[in-house]
Amino acid sequence: MRLEIKKLNTLFNQNNPFFILVLVLATVALISAGLLDYINFRQKKVSYLPWPEPGSSFQAKKPIPRPKKPEFSLAEFINRSLRESGVTEERISKEKTEDGLIYFSVRTTESEYRKLKDKLLSGLKKQKIKTRLTEEKAAAGERVVSLELRQQSRISGWVVFRYTPVLAARKTVQPSPPAAPEKKEPSGEIAVVIDDMGADLGILEELVSLKVPLTVAVLPDSSYARQTAELATKNGLEVIIHLPLEAFNGQASSAGADGLIKTSMSYQEVWSILEKDFAQVPYAKGLNNHMGSKATADEQLMEIIMSFLKEKNLFFLDSKTSPRSIAYDLALKKKVPAASRQVFLDADEDRSKIKDRLFELFNYARKNGQAVGIGHPFPETINVLKTYLPKAEDYGLKLVTVSSILKK
């Protein structure tokens, strides 16, 4: 056995002339086979190796990029579905809350709602949007149906349908939109709140120049929070804190989200933040929520906030960034003076609708005796207020601060 291995080692030794001859012949055979295969390839005969076409290279072809699928927009999908179902633009009210959540309010009829609901639910299901329907009765027999929308297990917004059942509609004569009456003694009150204040003293000076009662909601950690509160109070404006609260979509990086109060915080943590905020915003008479769709739906957290407000003799304004908010009702239950927002003046992306929203506020106050509208320090909002707030008197309305229309 050892002798055979030794013979093999001798045979394949690199210095063995026989080994070198075999290696050379094998190499020549391989090259010859390759050349013959290439000649066959050029002559369009059968070839076995992957030769490139003349003029091409051995580089791998780059994959053709596939066109990107357009990003799905839930707001656009809902708006398109409503319009395709025959709902006119004037019957659709669109808002985007501070939390980044969408909010559609649709005025419809009972029969139209039934068709809309089926079509919309079917379309949302195809887009893998989860939904939850809740229905309740409102004043004068009106039905309010709230459709909660969820994307990837997170709340993305709501579509709220309002209609009067056929039987109730027969009993109730629907009034036409009121025209501005002649000036008379006020029969209703409106309070206008400007959120997100504290970053620009120039905006505050413009509000002061209106010379009307207004409430300014100051972000406690903004650059000029203290100066804004002091200057506003000096010039007769009411000051409240615009309190950053946790949102359903986890938004916490937007302007003013410093000092965010979360539902996971302890009693002591929440109380400490509130103490700090009111120290930074002197003269504040109460607070409203900045964002807060998740926080205002959390009873445990809101009870902590209400206990603080009650002890400090302060009021609460529910900005209603979510239909699920329990904050206003809980405030009244805990004997904390409170109010809630009826109209967002500038939540529409189309700023040209701010004037329409202001007159919507006027009409609501005329029908219900009082109303609260919330706007933001946008140039378009300030210009509309300058032009049209004086017309409140023509509607028999009185401009007041929020603390004047609190429910206790």
Query: For the segment 210-243, what is each residue's pLDDT rounded down to a tens digit?
Result: 999 999 999 999 999 999 999 999 999 999 999 9
Segments of 20-101 assigned E as strands: 92-96
Kindly indicate the confidence band of residue 85, based on its pLDDT and cuts at 50, 70 and 90.
Answer: confident
The residues of the chain that CATH labels 3.20.20.370 are 188-405
CA distances to 119, 140, 350 from 357, rounded to whole Å, are 29, 23, 11
The partner residues of 130 in beta bridges, in order of sequence, read 150
Mean pLDDT of 88-105: 76
Q: How far apart are CA 11 and CA 1, in angstroms?
A: 16
- pLDDT, position 184: 57
Mean pLDDT of 294-304: 97
Share of the chain above pLDDT 70, in %: 80
- pLDDT, position 174: 46
The pTM assigned to this predicted structure is 0.66
- pLDDT, position 102: 80
CATH topology of domain 188-405: TIM Barrel (3.20.20)
Q: How far apart are CA 207 and CA 42, in angstroms?
A: 85
Query: Among the listed ranges 142-156, 291-305, 360-374, which one has the minimum average pLDDT value?
Result: 142-156
Pick the most confident of 101-115, 137-151, 217-231: 217-231
- pLDDT, position 30: 75
Query: For the segment 22-75, what is each residue's pLDDT rounded down to a tens digit?
Result: 777 778 777 777 777 777 777 767 666 676 766 555 555 556 666 666 677 888
Residue 392 burial by CB count (10 A; 0-12/13-18/19+): exposed, middle or buried? buried
> Which residue's structure tokens are 């559609």?
104
In what helix (H) or strand (E) does residue 244 lie, and over which residues does it extend?
Answer: strand 238-245
